[in-house]
Chains A and B, each alone.
Chain A
């Protein structure tokens, strides 16, 4: 079918570091290196309200759906396995059991179709996909998700971490607060908090604000928000005698934690002298965060780049894209080394494909 002289390079990416199982297929143009998304299929494990997703159940979900999602991805892309160049999978960071089940599946595909394997750092996947979609050349990156909170800038072949959460990730703080309020986890707890927050805003409740240089901390905020939620449920009033609702709580929580994120991002931008900012990761879909970041960037004479839920939320296509970038520089993961790991820092990856 492909009659061009130089063949386009195609990769299949498998992601399952948390509760999303994603498989995507990407093609890089042989001449321009322009990426084309051929398919991007995702299936999410949603736990009941008031609960989080446990590693065991999540791994089981990924195992149960892997074949279905993979077949769908191939069908949507209209690609036969023989056309693939490599199979990419998430090496980490993430939850152990889900990572392992997807790694086993990726190895199986590689052996079955006789393809090379490429292990990918999940965070680098987010960054590369964000850059590819938005066209931001060299931005300061805010990576915010259920497991990670980092302010990153590229320097000398590595994505360097300038600031990060010292305890729990911002997404984890939001997810756990959604559990406290027992609101739905479908489609995502953060999304439902965002919708509730739009109805709030009559009062801004006083929550701790924990920024230390370019780092920040969220666990104290969660504790205080949980206490306020308990007061509300008991029918009581706030510390200043005001009444408040679930929506006000969500609003106050968002305003506080997002202000912290924008502040540390601004500090990093001033530090490295950049005026572009790219938001990636699941929390990056939040429109209020995007709006606040945009206001900050505008004040600095710059702009904000963000993607929508297809690429912000964990997906297979970003793993395929970052994996293919590495593969094109000659990187591959031999079968016997195709492990995965819960701890894998963004700055451990040698970024050979950038100048």
Chain B
């Protein structure tokens, strides 16, 4: 009975209507905003432009206030991460009032995709066994790099707010080191190789409490388990590496135990 989802044509943000060497490409569309790939800012180098379009349902004053505050907050967080060596895209330019933020284009694939290539068509009930958890496979190495990245993020006092394997990119290493003998093996190895870059800080906040950090980890743990059930056991390597990178990790991990126990659920009053 509901109207069928008609292909909605989105109006470009004004900045993308100006002449550029290549036309903008709509890469992703979420509830928050839209992501374009464009060469408007730097002709020789593509960049990622995040646009928070005006929400028709919202009062215009409120909408303008929120859009501006959110673009500014995201830019501030990215800038802080960049300065402190957390692997995130660099900010190129922004216009908070117009609602856009241009960032470094990460030329890679989401970690989710890399892990799925590695796992291949491994059947559901053939989950990674205890023996394999101890193996030093390239996938385990990727888990450690994820832990390192999140550890570095928390060390700078930033909470991502939406950590998933879709919000992490794999920036491929320069070739030459990982070319294995058998091609299929090499492909798989390549799929989980590369530097881990954290992206999409639309829900990020700045905080240094164990509680916030633990909830951030919990969100990742839950997302990981539901996205990659077969590799669920490898998550312990993420936490191990997190401990190595981040000095205050032990108290966060203790808090994580509490968070796991209560979930995100509260018992409610009528």
Interface residues of A, Cβ cutoff 8 Å to B:
17-18, 92-95, 99, 122, 135-137, 139, 147-148, 161, 164, 166, 204, 206, 209, 212-213, 215, 255-256, 259, 262-263, 266-267, 269-271, 275-276, 291-293, 295-296, 299-303, 342-343, 345
Task: Determine which of A92, A136, A259, A292 lies in contact with B270 in the assembled complex, contact meaning CB atoms within 8 Å.
Answer: A92
Q: How far is the CA of A212 from the CA of B264 in the complex (A)?
A: 12
Nearest-neighbor residue (CB-CB) of A139 within chain B: B2
Closest Cβ of chain B: how far from A348's Cβ, in Å?
10
Chain A residues with CB below 8 A from B264, complex form: 215
Q: Is the CB of B31 within 8 A of A259?
A: no
Q: How far is the CA of A71 from the CA of B91 in the complex (A)?
A: 69
Interface residues of B (CB under 8 A from A): 1-8, 30-32, 55-59, 61-63, 65-66, 161-162, 203, 264-270
In the complex formed, the residue of A with least CB distance to B270 is A94
**Which B residues are in CB contact (< 8 Å) with A94?**
270
Q: Which residue of A lies closest to B5 (CB)?
A: A301
Among candidates B8, B31, B59, residue contacting A266 with C-beta atoms closer than 8 Å: B31
Bound CA span A206–B62, Å: 8
A345 and B31 in contact, given A213-B203, A256-B62 (Cβ under 8 angstroms): no
What B residues does A303 contact at CB under 8 A? 2-3
Q: Which chain B residues lie closer than 8 Å to A269 at the CB level?
A: 31
With a cutoff of 8 Å between Cβ atoms, the chain B residues found around residue A266 in the complex are 31
| Set A95, A135, A270, A292: member contacting B57, Cβ < 8 A | A292
Give complex CA distance A83, B5 in Å: 45
Given contacts A299-B8, A342-B269, 20 further A-B contacts (CB under 8 A): A92-B270, A122-B270, A135-B1, A137-B1, A148-B268, A166-B266, A206-B65, A209-B62, A213-B161, A259-B57, A259-B59, A267-B32, A270-B31, A276-B2, A296-B56, A301-B3, A301-B6, A302-B2, A302-B3, A345-B265
A-B contact pairs, 5 of them (CB 8 A): A164-B266, A209-B62, A299-B8, A299-B56, A345-B265
Q: Which 10 A-B pairs have the closest CB atoms?
A: A94-B270, A93-B270, A270-B31, A295-B57, A292-B57, A301-B5, A343-B267, A147-B270, A267-B31, A255-B59
Contact A18 to B57, CB < 8 A, known contacts A135-B1, A136-B1, A276-B2: no
* Partner among B6, B57, B65 whose Cβ is within 8 Å of the Cβ of A262: B57
Contact of B55 among A215, A267, A296, A302 (CB under 8 A): A296
A209 CA to B58 CA, complexed, in Å = 12
Query: Are the CB atoms of B2 and A275 closer together than 8 Å?
Result: yes
Q: Is the CB of B161 within 8 A of A148?
A: no
C-alpha gap A7/B162 in the complex (Å) = 53
- Whether A209 pairs with B268 at a CB distance below 8 angstroms is no
CB distance from A341 to the nearest CB of B (A): 9
Give the nearest-CB partner of B8 in chain A. A301
Residues of A within 8 A of B59 (CB): 204, 255, 259
A111 to chain B, nearest CB (A): 26
CB distance from B65 to the nearest CB of A (A): 8
What residue in chain A is nearest B30 (Cβ atoms)?
A: A270
B5 touches A302 (CB 8 A): yes
Residue from B58, B161, B268 within 8 A of A345 (CB atoms): B268
- Chain B residues with Cβ below 8 Å from A95 are 270
Q: Which residues on the B side are within 8 Å of A93 (C-beta)?
A: 268-270
What is the bound-complex CA distance between A178 and B59, given in angstroms? 22
Residue pair B66, A209 in contact (C-beta under 8 Å) = yes
Bound-state CA distance A93–B55 (Å) is 34
Give the CA-CA distance A135 to B2 in the complex, in Å. 9
Query: In the complex, what residue of chain B is closest to A305 when comparing beta carbons?
Result: B2
- B62 contacts A147, C-beta separation under 8 Å: no
CB pair A275 B62 closer than 8 Å: no
Q: A34 to B65: give the CA distance in the assembly, Å.
A: 48
**Minimum distance in angstroms from A68 CB to a CB of chain B:** 24
**A136 to B2 CA separation, bound complex (whole angstroms):** 7
CB distance from B56 to the nearest CB of A (A): 5
The complex places the Cα of A213 from the Cα of B215 at a distance, in Å, of 12
Inter-chain contacts of A161 with B (CB < 8 A): 265
Q: Which residues of A contact B3 (CB under 8 A)?
A: 275, 301-303
- With A and B bound together, what is the CA distance between A214 and B93 in angstroms? 29
Instruction: Give Cα A106–Cα B128 distance, bound, in whole angstroms.
Output: 53
The answer to whether A343 touches B1, judged by C-beta atoms less than 8 angstroms apart, is no
CB distance from A53 to the nearest CB of B (A): 12
Contact yes or no, B62 A204, CB < 8 A: yes
Docked complex Cα distance between A296 and B58 (Å): 9
Chain A residue contacts of B203, Cβ below 8 A: 212-213
CB distance from A70 to the nearest CB of B (A): 22
Docked CA distance A345–B269 (Å) = 9
B2 with A259: CB separation less than 8 A: no
Contacts of B57 in A (CB 8 A): 259, 262, 291-293, 295-296, 299
> Which single residue of chain B is at the shortest CB-CB distance from A209?
B66
In the complex, what's the smallest C-beta–C-beta distance from B154 to chain A, in angstroms? 18
Complex Cα distance, B203 from A267, in Å, reads 12
Report A301 CB to chain B, min CB distance, Å.
4
Of chain A, the residue at the smallest CB distance from B61 is A204
A148 partner residues in chain B, CB cutoff 8 A: 268, 270
Q: Please give the distance in Å from A204's CB to the nearest CB on chain B.
A: 5
Closest to A271 in B: B31
